[in-house]
Chain A
């Protein structure tokens, strides 16, 4: 059985990689298997986790799940054209609740915490410590302060990016691009590790060329 699964894994891996050359029947077959198998997998997961776990068994234990159950049933009403408009209610509930939840979440993490973390003494290690910060600490804190401030200026939409404001915004996008560059390199390296994993499977588990 292990032997079969290794051969099947190799067949599908090479099929997906064949897309690098061009679209072809092998890739189409692998794509169809991937999509079909994963869609089927999620149907089963949702069936047991949601329909059976929460809808059928769970509502007795947790009254809050009744809300979800009713909203879920309302979603299915769209199958009846005459009253299909009712299915917009659960959607409106989800969109509204999500917006409200994330508003407070973002306000806390993206504004309050971010501003709090940026407020640091530039020339000392902490408040009341005197001139005790080293050159690298001063530089590091200046980068955080200038980067955060100019980044905010860049994302300020009520004023045209002209003059001193425009220059500050350009400094902001400069900081943002440097961050993206570093992030690009970091993420590419993590993707390489995924590729190495597949190559290792092909050359090691399947062909046995490497240990």
Chain B
């Protein structure tokens, strides 16, 4: 053994001690924390109370404007245990790679394992995770991949609605063309409309005006459109009989449209000179202000005939009763079920719902309008057949559990649903 070798052997205990000290000090140096002790005190031990939910999936909601992402997950396995400590779930979301933030809390663990996030925007990416919640903590699932909600041009959920519209529109076109070729299309009598000529004639004989109230809605209500179509026919008769018409309205656009309608009718009757803009007056948009004014007009002008056609609300009975009190013959019509009873009680003739819309076709006898009415009847015929067939198959599938009936019923429910 050489001199150098012996020196090394003598210094070995010292080197071992230094290395041992360095190794012991290394964790402290590396973490900047207190050295880890061999045992963890029992009161600080991590206790996992519940497993997190698994298989968290995010998917784009189909056929929308890119404003919804659907989230689903498999609930925590602990929910199957009797003493489950899961009291709910929390959903966290990160937008465009940012920090995760709490999006929603779902307290009902028994029935809910899905969530529709409707606070998203097309052009942004969203990642999610779901955490099981217990009284003392949260246990997070894995994060989903970032997902950008897509926009779709077509809502194919409404494909059957589109097909139905095509069938009815096709029927309308066929009937319109049939009527144009001179074939007579039958439409049954509608009592209220048969009375229009008599009612206007009565006003002429009595030398009193006709009052026409087109409801209190604007031109964006189809009932107002129907009322103005009937107004065209009424104004034509009034022009022929040289009677006075007065029409207070509560919407400026209705005033403009009504003036145009009456003007056209007077021109068609060959009496454009008899037309006057003052036949139609704007009163106010305020519902009961309008009613107060119309009631005043009724008792002062004492019209022989009152038409109440269009969209009516709480004012229906007030107007109809006042018209009745001045002895006017009244023809009313609306598609609002809550107001129809009042008209039926206080008016001489009432157009119920669909009859108001059928009125224009019936009165005019024009091929286009008659074709439209007949096309709508095709839609009603389809509805009647489907209701009978649907109820029959549902009953067979329900009570007798017949397989073919169940299939037909399932298909019908898919077709006759807009959701």
Contact = CB atoms under 8 A, between A and B. Distances in A.
Nearest to A191: B314
B188 A42 contact: no
A130 B395 CA distance: 9
Interface residues of B, number: 75
Nearest to A87: B256
Contact of A156 (B260, B293, B339, B380): B380
Contacts of B398: 121-130
Interface string A156-184: 11111100000000000000110111011
A191 B418 CA distance: 35
B284 A156 contact: no
B338 interface: yes
Interface in B394-419: 394-395, 397-399, 401, 406, 409-410, 412-413, 416-418
B373 A42 contact: no
Contacts of B399: 121-124, 130-131
Contact of A88 (B260, B379, B390): B260
B267 to A, nearest CB: 13
A160 to B, nearest CB: 5
A10 interface: no
Contact of B384 (A113, A149, A158): A149
Contacts of A75: 253, 256
B257 interface: yes
A149 B289 contact: no
B327 interface: no
**A: interface residue count bin:** 35 or more
A39 B394 CA distance: 55
B87 interface: no
Given A118-B387, A121-B398, A180 B168 contact: no
A39 B282 CA distance: 10
Interface stretch (B31-39, B97-105, B120-128, B350-358): B350-358
Given A112-B417, A121-B394, A123-B395, A104 B387 contact: no
Contact of B219 (A35, A95, A131): A95
7 contacts: A39-B283, A39-B285, A42-B286, A112-B164, A116-B416, A130-B399, A156-B377
Interface of B: 158, 160-161, 164-165, 168, 186-188, 190, 219-222, 225, 253, 256-257, 260, 283-286, 288-290, 292-293, 295-296, 299-300, 314, 317, 337-342, 344-345, 352-355, 358, 362, 373-374, 377, 379-381, 383-384, 386-388, 390-391, 394-395, 397-399, 401, 406, 409-410, 412-413, 416-418
The 3 A-B pairs of least Cβ separation, nearest first, read A121-B398, A38-B286, A119-B390
